[in-house]
Amino acid sequence: MLEIRDLECVRGDHRLFSGLNFSLQGGELLYLRGSNGSGKTSLLRTVCGLLEPTEGEVLWKGRNVRSQRDEFNAELTYLGHLNGVKGELTAFENLQLGGALSGLVVNEDDIYHALERIGLGGREDLPTQVLSQ
């Protein structure tokens, strides 16, 4: 379970949110919406541990995520709003980078196999910016 207790985020002299409380059980979804600059991304980054809260705490399975960062990160996937694929890198290099950033040891055969499965076999050395979306 993810639990947010009295979370506050301040950027400069602007309070984005304060006194925020909610919890999510496995399989539950949170729909988050708000105007530009209202703190949506800051909230998600704070919950994921990418940004320290001004006040409050984020609990994962009853424990503060700061005290169990490795365990929390191993079970977390954060997808930001920007494209994670780097256009100047090849498809192969993008998969290598993704694995490294996730702390995974990925062998080359696995990468070639994954590219083959998604129809990019033989195109692994092309920069992704030349591939169709």
Same domain for 60 and 10, yes or no, is: yes
Q: Where are the beta strands (DSSP E) in 12-117?
A: 14-24, 55-60, 63-64
- HSE at residue 40, side-chain half, CA atoms within 13 A, is 10
Same domain for 52 and 104, yes or no, is: no
| Confidence class for position 78, pLDDT limits 50, 70, 90 | low
Express each pLDDT in 21-74 by its tens digit. 999 998 888 888 888 888 998 998 899 888 899 999 999 999 998 888 888 877
Q: Which domain holds residue 124?
A: 91-130
Which phi-psi region, left, alpha or beta, contains residue 27 (left: φ > 0; alpha: ψ -120 to 50)? Answer: left
**The pLDDT value given to residue 35:** 87
Same domain for 66 and 114, yes or no, is: no
Prediction pTM value: 0.60
Vertex 79 angle, CA 88 and 120, to 5°: 45
Same domain for 61 and 95, yes or no, is: no
Same domain for 63 and 104, yes or no, is: no
Same domain for 103 and 53, yes or no, is: no
